[in-house]
Amino acid sequence: MPTPGLPEIAIILVIVLVIFGPKRLPDLGRSLGSGMKQFKDSVTGKDDDHELAAGDKKAEPVRAEKTEPVRAEKAEATPAGGQSS
- pTM of the predicted structure, to 2 decimals: 0.42
CB of 20 within 8 A of CB of 26?
no
Query: What is the distance of C-alpha 9 from the center of its chain?
Result: 32
Question: 24-83: per-residue pLDDT in tens?
Answer: 989 988 999 999 999 999 998 876 555 555 555 555 666 666 666 666 666 565 666 556
In this prediction, residue 41 carries a pLDDT of 92
CB of 79 within 8 A of CB of 85?
yes
Extents of the domains making up the chain: 6-41
